[in-house]
Structure 1
Amino acid sequence: MTHPYIRLRRGFVVVTAVGALLVPAAGGAMALPSSAAAVATATEPPSPSSSGDGVVELTPAVQQQVDEAVQRVMKQANVPGATVGIWTPDRGRYVKSFGVRDKSTGQEMAPDLFMRIGSETKTFTVTAVLQLVDQGKIGLDDTIDQYIDGVPNGDRITLRQLAGMRSGLFNYSADEDFFKALTTDPQQPFTPQQLLDYSFKHPVLFPPGEKFYYCNTNLILLGLVVEKMSGSHLNDYIHEHILDPAGLDDTLFPTGNEFPTPHSQGYTNQTATGKVEDSADWNPSWGWAAGAMISTLEDLRIWARTVATGVLPDGDRMISPATQKQRLTTPPTPIPGAGYGLGLFNVQGWIGHNGSLPGYESLTVYLPSARATLVVVLNTDINYKNQEPSTLFGDAITTIISPDHVFDLPAEPAAQ
């Protein structure tokens, strides 16, 4: 039986130094998300034909297909509530909520709810790092020991390797003692140094740059670099230099377990007993620069294009074209069709990130060829047959709306 390590969005792939999957779901092992076949029915409607950019028009018939796909995945994966947003510049808009935000009261899910976004936080932290690169305060090929002491292999690991998940450091959220501490008291605060201590007691997994390994420790270190070189707390820096310029008025970096209303409750089995609990009031400080942030569907719509292009809604640059080009260089991962750059992935042309932490999952991606955006937010992180629900939704929806660019991640055997 595998140990139920806590999940803070491993990302679309989580591969250890020897290629086995890491961070299994509570009560069982975790495999990578399946292809669309896993959520298909025996009587799928005919697929609409795609345009030259690979995206179909969101006609009433297509929207009905999306409705049916979302409801099918919800039933199959036992998802209490979901909200889906699809936006294209000339082929239609789709925003709809399904299910309930609160199982105890039956309140319905709604598009305006605040949601915890887990590892989508990484896109904001890495953006802060890249802004400091543009300002000449740091360099992507600087080693982490120039800024933070005590990092194993710190004289060899670069900021680029940290942002690209190729450092070789151990993932603190996969540590047994961390899991016990968090699940014993989910409302306790954690400091960045405490999180690093859980990681650094483990040996490095491989030489820096040798392979891809999704690791939350990397982002804790990058968050500390931002604080040291900007002279601001990370949450303050992100609010002032990223959220405010982008007009993300309903996105925040909490310092404790604060959660604006209206918000959805969150349902997780990543608990001390393995039983499903409501995690809405858990303290996300344990995710910090890797996963603590909160947002809404509409703000994530804005952010999807901003982070994928480096351009703010008003046309100004969030980061320079040269730095954005480096960010979007997405070397392959062990998963066919999926690359990971600097805090962003590229899966079959869809650029962005997904997020997961106890009780919540999200997916925010942008397809540049069609200027199309897809956002999915959920109030559960409970896996279905070792597959993450957010990726099941992404796969099922893109099979309909962008058949030439399906968010398709093949399953692999679970870790034993």
Structure 2
Amino acid sequence: MTRRRTLAVIGAALAAGTVVATGAGAQAFTGDASPTHRTISRHPAMRTLTPQVRAQLDRAVQHVLKTTRTPGVTVGLWAPGKGSYVRAFGTADKATKQPMSPRFNMRIGSVTKTFTVTALLRLVDHKQASLDDPISKYVRGVPNGRHITLRHLAQMRSGLFNALNDDDFAKVFMADTSRTFTNKELLAYAFKHPVAFPAGSQYQYSNTNTILLSMVVEKVTGQPFDRYLTRHVIKPAHLKHTFMPKGAEFPAPHAHGYTDQASNDGSITDATNWAPPGGASGVMISNLHDLRSWASTLAEGTLLSRATQAEGLKLLPTGREGLSYGLGIFDINGWIGHNGSLPGYQTVMVYLPKAKATLVVHTTSDINVEGKSLTTKFAMAVTDIVTPKNVYDIPTS
């Protein structure tokens, strides 16, 4: 892995190979599997988590842990009437050999986007903003800003360059991984580059989009984004261990995270105290049980009106089989939610409506294996056993 390639996915885990024409209109979310998985055997929506199934999951998760050389992982799976499976394997600190625990706070990367877009949708519900407003109404200097709407930004269809993919940004960040970046600084890296396509015509994952949406929230409310988020999203969702840090702070207990992004030779660095650079696109901290609660809140639209939630779940194809994207939320073979990756950590948080099942996975490394994120490999192993009609698997291209 080279430093340039890995820095391209700071704060995201959907970035590779995603500049594509839509080729089709929006689809309503149904919770059905993609065509590839509909032909799999006639199992119920989810297997009951009997002791035998839990033992099978233990073996599968430990196999992925060993073959990917992941330092540590936590897995949480819950479904009414089917039971639960909450496990932690591996070490939280290579130096002390402290074991992993489901209690740990974790950096959640681009799962942050689900909170940021929900904050925007709360404003839409209160008629303080419209999804069809151009971004130029709120933020000056955005290339093609008169034609890029808030909807395009939330759908990842703006065509704006991903600030975290810029070479100069990568150099500055790696020179001082404790540095924090303002929104203005991040946008300057993005706006050096041309807009990739007319707004709405293609899908391209970009952290720049979510950064701009947080600025819309600030403009409309006159409040710092983190304050509005806490009062109007996190607290109403009854989350006790979820917040947006201002820098590198990381409250205990937490696991150490490991990355190869500090070198070009594959050597591993402890990135625990690096300051996540993506602002409202990927810096939040949470834990397994808060994300269990947030997954169903997000998927069921508990904080939003029915109409606004329906807008959020108008899913568009991305050009990657089984994967579609709505407003800050994706559907992968029936599982809806989001994933995230940043130096040292990866997370996936998804919900399967037809089984009312929630899956959350945290890893203490961001080093992809065979082109797949670690969380994809773990989630795929789990869902292949418990929901074989709905296997979580993000295609590599």
Letter in 2 for 1:340: Y
Q: Which string of whole-angstrom CA distances, capped at 9 and with x for unpartnered residues, describes residues 178-199 of structure 1?
A: 1111111000111001000000
Letter in 2 for 1:319: L
Q: Which string of whole-angstrom CA distances, capped at 9 and with x for unpartnered residues, describes residues 199-225 of structure 1?
A: 000111111111110000001100100
How far has the Cα of 1:271 moved from its partner? 1.3
Q: Which string of whole-angstrom CA distances, capped at 9 and with x for unpartnered residues, describes residues 255-281 of structure 1?
A: 111101000000011115553111111
User: 2:109 is matched with which residue?
Assistant: 118
Give RMSD over aligned pairs: 1.8
User: 1:139 is matched with which residue?
Assistant: 130
Q: Which string of whole-angstrom CA distances, capped at 9 and with x for unpartnered residues, describes residues 355-405 of structure 1?
A: 110000000000011100000011100111221111111111111110111
CA contact (8 A) 2:292 2:349 kept: yes
SS of alignment partner, residue 364 of structure 1: strand
Matched, 1:216 2:219: no
SS of alignment partner, residue 308 of structure 1: helix
Q: Distance in 1 between matches of 2:41 and 2:244?
A: 40
Mind listing any 5+ residue stretches in structure 2 that lack a counterpart?
22-35
Pick aligned residue for 2:376 from 366, 391, 402: 391
CA contact (8 A) 1:56 1:401 kept: yes
CA contact (8 A) 2:116 2:280 kept: yes
How far has the Cα of 1:17 moved from its partner? 4.0
Matched, 1:14 2:5: no
Pick aligned residue for 2:231 from 228, 240, 243: 240
User: 2:159 is matched with which residue?
Assistant: 168
User: 1:281 is matched with which residue?
Assistant: 273
User: 2:366 is matched with which residue?
Assistant: 381
CA contact (8 A) 1:48 1:56 kept: no
Matched, 1:370 2:355: yes
User: 1:352 is matched with which residue?
Assistant: 337
Q: Distance in 2 between matches of 1:200 and 1:136?
A: 29
Pick aligned residue for 1:205 from 182, 196, 203: 196
User: 1:32 is matched with which residue?
Assistant: none
CA contact (8 A) 2:11 2:283 kept: no
CA contact (8 A) 1:80 1:379 kept: yes
TM score, norm. by length of structure 1: 0.88
- Residue correspondences, number: 378
CA contact (8 A) 1:172 1:199 kept: yes
Matched, 1:230 2:215: no
Letter in 2 for 1:397: V
Q: Distance in 2 between matches of 1:218 and 1:268?
A: 25
User: 1:314 is matched with which residue?
Assistant: none
SS of alignment partner, residue 380 of structure 2: helix
CA contact (8 A) 1:5 1:175 kept: no
Task: Pick the structure with more strand per residue.
Answer: 2
TM score, norm. by length of structure 2: 0.92
Q: Distance in 1 between matches of 2:248 and 2:109?
A: 13
Letter in 2 for 1:55: M
Q: Which string of whole-angstrom CA distances, capped at 9 and with x for unpartnered residues, describes residues 42-83 of structure 1?
A: xxxxx99732xx111001111111111111111111100000
User: Taking every aligned residue pair, what percent have the same amino acid on both sides?
Assistant: 49
How far has the Cα of 1:282 moved from its partner? 0.8
Letter in 1 for 2:43: S
SS of alignment partner, residue 197 of structure 1: helix
CA contact (8 A) 2:18 2:320 kept: no
User: 1:315 is matched with which residue?
Assistant: none
Q: Which string of whole-angstrom CA distances, capped at 9 and with x for unpartnered residues, describes residues 2-45 of structure 1?
A: 633512243335335468xxxxxxxxxxxxxxx99xxxxxxxxx
